[in-house]
Structures are given as C-alpha cells and as structure tokens.
C-alpha cells in the first residue's frame, strides 16, 4: 500500500498541464464536464489516500488496536515512519475540512445576504440604479431560481442588441447551473493545492459556454462578441466594481480577448491537442482511482493479517 497510496497524491501535479490546454482545444461544454470530473475525482482520490495513510500509524496506538481487536500493527514499517505520516495526514485532513467548511459557510452567507437586490424587485432580472457598469448572474438559494443583476450604468453602455446578448449570457449561467461547477472546482482545490490551477481553465470554459449560448440566442456571433467586449471595457473603465458577490458569475470576467476571438472564429482550432489533453486527463483520473483502490485492498488485507486471519485474494 505504501507505494500505491502516493499515486493519487502526485497525480494532480501531472494533470494540471494537460488541463490548461483543454479549455481552448475542446468545445466549451465538453471542457467543463471533463475539468469538473477531473477536479472532483482527483480531490476525492487524494483525500482517500490521506485517510489510508492515517490507518497504519493509528494502529500503533494501543487504544486503536484494542478497539479494532488487532493482534499486531498493520504496517511492517517502523513506528518512526508510520506514526509521523499518520500525524501529517491527520493534520492535512483537518485543515482541508476546516477550509471547506469555511468556504461553504461564506458562500451560504453571501447567498442569503445578496438574495434580494437593494431595489426589492422580483423576477429573473433586477436592475440596480448604479452609474458603475456591471452585470452578473447570482445563484439562488435551494429551491429558488437565480437572479440576473445589471446596473443602469451597464444598460447605458450597450445598445439594445448588445443588451440582449449580455442578458442571454447571464441567463445561460443560471440555466446551466454553472455556479455548481465553479464551486466544485473551488472545493476540490481546497483538498489538493495543485488543483487550484484548474479553477482558471474552468472559469474560462464556463464563460465560453455562456458566450456560445448568447450568440445562439441573438443569432449573431459578432453582436455577442461586441457585447462582451464593450461590457468588459465599460466595467474596466469604472476602475472595478465594489460589492459584487464572490458567488456571482459575470460576462466581463476572465480573458475577454480570447473569448472574443473564439466567438469571431479567429482562434486557431487544435483538435489534436484537445484529444491529447482529454486523454491525458482521463488517464490521470483512471490511474489515480486504480491506485486508490489497490491501496485500499492492500489495507484490507493487512487488517485481516493483523486480526490473525488469512488475507482473501
């Protein structure tokens, strides 16, 4: 087990370079699904690996051995190896759990705090009287739809066709439940530091999904590209927007020039790169899962031996 258990902990470092190439090389929808599956899967397998590292060291404690009715410790390695590994794994698991709990609580508080716009309006669209240009999609509380929030400053910055494209973009975020994908990537990053690098390509792929939906809704890719570009320029000219919720998704976020080029068909297609990156991510996910299962099986066999039973093969 001692060798297989390290594979899930190291595999995220291998997956990240492939993930960075994925968002531009695959269709946005496929990129989002693959990035989300990879982030969550690798986080789960690495967490399982930490749990498996705790058990051999924990059985060195007499109290744990008595509870498990173990005849001898699970690991053949010396206590000066297994016990420090177990202590480090426990500390990492505790830190991850605390960070995840704080993140979930912060998002929950923000959803309650921003659930009703300042103007008290109801419905999908909330227009805020604010000269600073801004627009974003705000997820709703469980059982309630989200809101599209746009300021009067943003409405004045765009012409009618561009407004329709911008609202279609934000509507696509809500319809596609993009906030859940982004939250999954953020939580995964809390359980393994290498997975933090997946948040940027995930965010870009989600914006590209909404861009394509907006272009389809208005029937003109140039209008959608112009709306995104002008909205981003207007928001940037306002020197940032204060008070935007952290859980919000905005059309002006991410690498806007790359998104505009993709909408206008100026981005160079790289299907081979996309297929290679997708294959690499799937291979990393499969290897990590197989190693975690192998380490779990070895641990189960060690438990049987420690109890004086013959391991089942």
Would you say residue 256 has pLDDT above 80?
yes
Separation of CA 205 from chain center:
11
Average pLDDT over residues 96-116: 81
Report whether pLDDT(240) > 70. Answer: no
Q: Is 148 in contact with 124 (CB distance < 8 Å)?
A: yes
C-alpha distances out from residue 226 to 209, 222, 241, 252, 305, Å: 16, 6, 21, 12, 68
For residue 24, what pLDDT is reported? 74
Look up residue 140 and give its DSSP letter: P
Q: How confident is the model at residue 83 (pLDDT cuts 50, 70, 90)?
A: confident
pLDDT of amino acid 118: 46
Q: What would the two tokens of residue 168 be?
A: 């279609």
Among 51-60, 77-86, 114-123, 285-294, where is mean pLDDT lowest? 114-123
- Least-confidence region, from 47-61, 63-77, 87-101: 63-77
Tell me the longest C-alpha to C-alpha distance in the chain.
78
- Helix (H, G, I), strand (E, B), or coil: what is residue 294? helix
Residues 6+ apart with CB under 8 A from 40: 184, 188
Q: Is the pLDDT of residue 208 over 70?
A: yes
| pLDDT score for 221 | 93
- From CA 138, how far away is CA 145, in angstroms rounded? 9
For 151-177, how does the pLDDT look when each residue is reduced to its tens digit (9 = 90+)? 999 999 999 999 999 999 999 999 998
| pLDDT tens sequence across 124-140 | 888 888 888 988 988 87
* Per-residue pLDDT at 67 exceeds 60: no
Q: CA-to-CA distance for 298 and 270, rounded, in angstroms?
A: 42
DSSP string, 146-169: -EEEEEHHHHHHS-HHHHHHHHHH
205 φ/ψ angles, rounded to the nearest 5 degrees: -65, -35
């Amino acid at each position: 087990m001692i060798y297989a258990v390290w594979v899930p902990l190291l595999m995220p470092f291998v997956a990240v370079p492939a993930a960075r190439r994925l968002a531009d090389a695959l269709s946005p929808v496929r990129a989002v699904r693959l990035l989300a599956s990879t982030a969550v899967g690798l986080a789960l397998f690495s967490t399982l690996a930490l749990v498996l590292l705790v058990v051999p060291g924990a059985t060195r404690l007499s109290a744990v051995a008595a509870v498990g009715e173990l005849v001898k410790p699970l690991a053949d390695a010396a206590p000066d190896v297994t016990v420090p590994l177990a202590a480090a794994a426990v500390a990492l698991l505790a830190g991850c759990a605390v960070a995840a709990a704080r993140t979930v609580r912060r998002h929950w508080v923000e959803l309650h705090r921003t659930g009703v716009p300042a103007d008290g309006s109801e419905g999908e669209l909330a227009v805020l009287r604010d000269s600073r240009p801004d627009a974003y999609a705000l997820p709703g509380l469980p059982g309630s739809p989200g809101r599209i929030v746009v300021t009067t400053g943003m409405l004045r910055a765009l012409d009618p066709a561009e407004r329709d494209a911008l609202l279609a973009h934000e509507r696509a975020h809500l319809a596609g439940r993009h906030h859940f994908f982004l939250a999954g990537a953020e939580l995964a990053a809390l359980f393994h530091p290498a997975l933090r690098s997946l948040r940027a390509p995930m965010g870009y792929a989600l914006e590209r999904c909404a861009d394509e939906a907006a272009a389809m809704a208005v029937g003109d890719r140039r209008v959608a590209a112009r709306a995104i570009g002008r909205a981003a320029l207007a928001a940037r000219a306002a020197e940032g927007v204060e008070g935007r919720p952290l859980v919000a998704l905005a059309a002006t976020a991410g690498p806007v020039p790359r998104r505009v080029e993709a909408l206008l068909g100026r981005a160079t297609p790289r299907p081979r790169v996309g297929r290679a990156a997708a294959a690499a991510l799937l291979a990393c996910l499969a290897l990590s899962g197989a190693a975690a299962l192998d380490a779990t099986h070895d641990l189960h066999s060690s438990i049987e031996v420690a109890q004086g039973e013959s391991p089942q093969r």
